[in-house]
Amino acid sequence: MHASAYEVLASAASGTLSSFWLLIVIPAASGGILLLLGRRADRWGHLLGCASVGVAFVLGLVYFFQLGGLPATDRRATLDLFTFIQVAALKVDFGLLFDPLSAVFVLLITGVGFLIHVYAVGYMADDPKRRTFFAYFNIFVAAMLLLVLGNNYVMLYIGWEGVGLASYLLISFWYTRPSAATAGKKAFIMNRVGDAGLAIAIFVMFANLHTVSYDGVFANVDRFTSGTTLALGLLLLIGACGKSGQFPLQAWLPDAMEGPTPVSALIHAATMVTAGVYLIARSNPIFDANPTAQAVVAAVGAVTLLIGCIIGCAKDDIKRVLAWSTVSQIGYMFLGVGLGGGAYALAIIHLLAHGFFKAGLFLGAGSVMHAMNDQVDIRRFGGLWKYMKITWITFGVGWLAIIGIPPLSGFFSKEPIIAEAFDRPGWAGWVLGFAALLGAGLTAFYMTRLFVLTFHGPERWTDDIKHPHESPPVMTVPLMLLAIGSAAAGALMATPVQDWLNPTVFGVEGGEVPEHVHLSHTVVTILSIAITVLGGLLGWWLFRNGTSLQEQPAGPVVTAARKNLYGDTVNETVFEKPGTYLTRALVYFDNKGIDGLVNGLAAAVGGGSGRLRRAQTGFVRSYALSMLGGALLVAVAFLVVRLG
């Protein structure tokens, strides 16, 4: 069931499809106008912001159907707009590719994106910087579309860092709060760690093949040594982990909840954080060529999905619970793309379903916060179902969808991934399968806890809240549409999307039935429904009467989960603190050592340069020390040069 050799198809875009660059340009132009006009655009900026994404969605639909009208094997259109960089053998086009994989992403980004834009009109109504918000939001959409529409890795990289920029600007949107400013910076820097991995992967491709285009690389994967494909796979994985908040680069994502809630819904749940999944799915010929790299991806997915579930159980902040649940759900997608073969499409289906239900859950959380004076502590909610019926019902649909109750979308998208995990031969199948199964149970538990504590049980509100109110229609209509999507999407998507993606993108023939290695599909289905129901019932039973308002003392596991399994602590002790000390030491060394040394030499040579001699500080001993330090640095660098 592995992909057949990659075929490069002649596919220059023609007809209607030749204008699909408009998808990127329209939101980008709107964002640029909103930024350049400044306050002059305050009155209507949000309308332009919504309209540009709406138009992009309509265009996306048109292109989608155009593409669908083509025979299955010809479903791709490329567009080389102009030569971006050309130096000797390196030629990078500003080139785009519209194929089934990018098409579904375009619809997700613009469709869900449009609904969230509309919701934000209401959510940000009282914010004096609403126009700026929409400018950043538009820039994000444009960058994300470039990411999924590029036909080479450099285009992808530009979009990749572009969405990182938008994410940074929007997380620190309320920058007067130090926590928001810090969270934005943390997100950008941790993302850059991943970006460095992606950049090096591009260098490896060029050094090996003198090309960085998808077609050029994928058609020549068989020329790589297995060491090269492994290196490429792992480097791409580092990039994917950074953007998607996967282990070990997961710590920034929950902090990103400092941004306004629509940002959490669009960027940090539905679209940007799934870019890592896109990267791996897009690079499937590379991963198919190296089973070790695939296994590492699957392992990262399994570890992360458990990390996310465990921490999600211990959090009391409504947005943080959802954030960790995002980490965990993307873990399922990584597990899927790591399994390869038919599971690529399953991961993409889960990604689409997740885009709907997680966006709906976040927007529902925003609606609750609106009603509760921006309270985020689920211990201070309770009984809200009476006061905000639309939010309650739509959130309920999202809750049932994410835990995977049939016939909602989460069931159809998550359960096949669990089944595929069990189909992996050997002990790995058992480990991955049980991890995914356990994750399903834990998800049911913490999501039920969240739902019950928020909407049911006794009212535990803070004193300043008298009459919680439902949100205005501009916010509730997107909620309803997303709920419909979460309910129906899975069932509608499961088969057609698979047939849509498999032949052209993943090289998997339709109708292939995977071989069941450990457990039959029926057994897995029964097990996963059973464990989900069990987890849900346990959550309901434990929290049906609310919970205490203060944090209670807990055992080591819960304490560790509350502290994010010490991820931040590790970053702090391994990177931040030593980094700070190193920086301070170097500042001292540079001022007293290197500078003093050179000044001293100059004074000695010049003899009469009294001015410098007076200014210099330090003694022969410290000069000797700094000479040693400097020589050591150069020696280390030499070693690096000698390594090649």
Partner 1 sequence: MSDAGFPYLSLLTGLPLLGALVVALLPRTRPALAKQVALAWSIAVLGLALATWFAFEPNGDRFQLRESYPWIPTWDARFTFAIDGIALVMIALIAVLVPLVIIYSWDEVREETGTPAKRSVHAYFALLLALQSTMIGVFAAADIFLFYVFFEVMLVPMYFLIGSYGGARRQYAAVKFFLYSLVGGLLMLAAVIGLWVLGGHTFDWQRLTEADFSQGAERWLFLGFFIAFAIKAPFFPFHTWLPDAGGAAPAGAAALLVGVLDKVGTFGILRYCLPLFPNASKYFAPLGIALALVGIIYAALLAVGQNDLKRLVSYTSVAHFGFIGVGIFAFTTQAGSGAVLYMVNHGLATGLLFLVVGMFVSRRGSALVGDFGGAGKTVPVLSGVFIVAGLASLSLPGTAPFVSEFLVLLGTFSVYKTVAVVATLGIILGAAYVLWMIQRTTHGTPNPQMAKVRGMRRDLSWRESIVVGPLIALLVFFGFYPKPLLDVINPAVAYTLHDIKKEDPAPSAQEAGK
* 317 bridge partner residues: 377
- Are the beta carbons of 536 and 444 closer than 8 angstroms? yes
Residue 132 Cβ vs partner 1, minimum distance, rounded to whole Å: 9
Instruction: Name 102's Cβ contacts closer than 8 Å, sequence gap at least 6.
Output: 148, 149
Query: Nearest approach, Cβ of 633 to partner 1 (angstroms)?
Result: 5
Contact segment (CB under 8 A) with partner 1 among 97-105, 254-262, 514-522, 583-591 equals 583-591
When asked if residue 577 is in the footprint of partner 1 (CB under 8 A), the reply is no
Q: How many binding residues for partner 1 (CB under 8 A)?
A: 78
Indicate whether 595 belongs to the interface with partner 1 (CB under 8 A): yes
Asked if 152 touches partner 1 (CB under 8 A), the answer is: no
Q: Using CA atoms, how far apart are residues 143 and 42, in angstroms rounded to an integer?
A: 23
Instruction: For partner 1, give the closer residue by CB, 8 or 526.
Output: 8
- For partner 1, the binding residue among 98, 188, 218, 445 (CB under 8 A) is 188
CB of 406 to partner 1, least distance (A): 44
Stretch of residues binding partner 1 (CB under 8 A), selected from 221-229, 479-487, 524-532, 541-549: 221-229
Closer residue to partner 1, CB minimum distance, 566 or 638: 638
Comparison of 10 and 87: residue with beta carbon closer to partner 1: 87
- Name which position in 206, 344, 362, 422 contacts partner 1 (CB under 8 A): 206
- The Cα 452–Cα 449 span in angstroms is 5
Q: Please give the residues from 38 up to 67 whose contact with partner 1 meets the rule CB under 8 A.
A: 38
Write the single-letter amino acid at 75.
R
Give the count of beta carbons closer than 10 Å to the beta carbon of residue 74.
12
Residue pair 287/343 in contact (Cβ under 8 Å)? The answer is: no
Helix (H) or strand (E) run with residue 368 in it: helix 343-371
How far apart are CB 585 and partner 1 at their closest, in Å? Answer: 9
Backbone φ and ψ of 576, nearest 5°: -65, -55
Mutual angle of helices 226-244 and 291-314, in 10-degree steps: 20
Q: Which of 2, 40, 210, 544 binds partner 1 (CB under 8 A)?
A: 210
Q: With contact defined as beta carbons under 8 Å apart, do 472 and 370 qualify? A: no
Query: x-or-dash pattern for partner 1, window 611-630, by CB under 8 A?
Result: xx--x--------------x
Q: Which is nearer to partner 1, 477 or 586 (CB)?
A: 586
Polymer length of the chain:
644
| Minimum gap (Å) between residue 189 Cβ and partner 1 | 5
- The residue within the footprint of partner 1, chosen from 220, 525, 571, 622 (CB under 8 A), is 220
Single out the segment in contact with partner 1 by CB under 8 A; choices: 76-84, 283-291, 341-349, 483-491.
76-84
Token digits of residue 75: 């479903």
Structure tokens at 39: 């306050």
The interface region with partner 1, picked from 182-190, 301-309, 421-429, 566-574 by CB under 8 A, is: 182-190
Distance between CA atoms of 7 and 62, rounded to whole angstroms? 26
Spatial distance between the Cα atoms of 361 and 590, rounded to a whole number of angstroms: 52
Q: Which residue has the tokens 């910087």?
A: 129
Applying CB under 8 A, which of residues 196, 393, 465, 558 lies at the interface with partner 1? 196
Could you tell me what percentage of the chain is helix, strand and coil, using 3-state DSSP and rounding each to the nearest 5? 75, 5, 20
Peptide bond just before 248 cis, omega within 30 deg: yes
* Position 379 contacts partner 1 (CB under 8 A): no
**Closer Cβ to partner 1, 40 or 386, answer by number:** 40
Q: Which one of 29, 158, 428, 625 is in contact with partner 1 (CB under 8 A)?
A: 158
Residues 6+ apart with CB under 8 A from 523: none
Name the segment binding partner 1 (CB under 8 A); options: 103-111, 158-166, 360-368, 462-470.
158-166
Cβ atoms of residues 279 and 144 within 8 Å: no
* Contact criterion met (CB below 8 Å) for 487 and 573: no
Would you call the peptide bond into 407 cis, given omega within 30 degrees of 0 as the criterion?
yes
Provide, rounded to whole angstroms, the least separation between the CB of residue 582 and partner 1: 6
State which amino acid sits at residue 227: G
C-alpha pair distances (Å), 427 with each of 158, 422, 430, 434, 524: 40, 10, 5, 11, 17
Q: Is 199 in the site for partner 1 (CB under 8 A)?
A: yes
Nearest distance from C-beta of residue 436 to partner 1, angstroms = 33
Nearer to partner 1, 215 or 415 (CB): 215
The distance of closest approach from Cβ of residue 38 to partner 1 in the complex, given in angstroms and rounded to an integer, is 7
Least gap, CB of 164 to partner 1 (angstroms)? 9
Which residue in 86, 462, 495, 520 binds partner 1 (CB under 8 A)? Answer: 86
Q: How far apart are CA 217 and CA 205, in angstroms?
A: 7
When binding is defined by CB under 8 A, the residue of 145, 166, 209, 310 that contacts partner 1 is: 209
Cβ–Cβ contacts within 10 Å for residue 560, how many? Answer: 16
Which is it for strands 77-87 and 90-98: parallel, antiparallel or unpaired? antiparallel
Residues 545-574 that bind partner 1 (CB under 8 A): none
Q: Any bridge partners for residue 86, and if so which? A: 91
**Of 385-393, 437-445, 451-459, 586-594: span binding partner 1 (CB under 8 A):** 586-594
Among 104, 154, 232, 351, binds partner 1 (CB under 8 A): 154
Binding status of residue 234 toward partner 1 by CB under 8 A: no
Please report how close the Cβ of residue 635 comes to partner 1 at its closest, in angstroms.
8
* Residues 9-38, interacting with partner 1 (CB under 8 A): 38
Residue closer to partner 1 by CB (options 201, 388) is 201
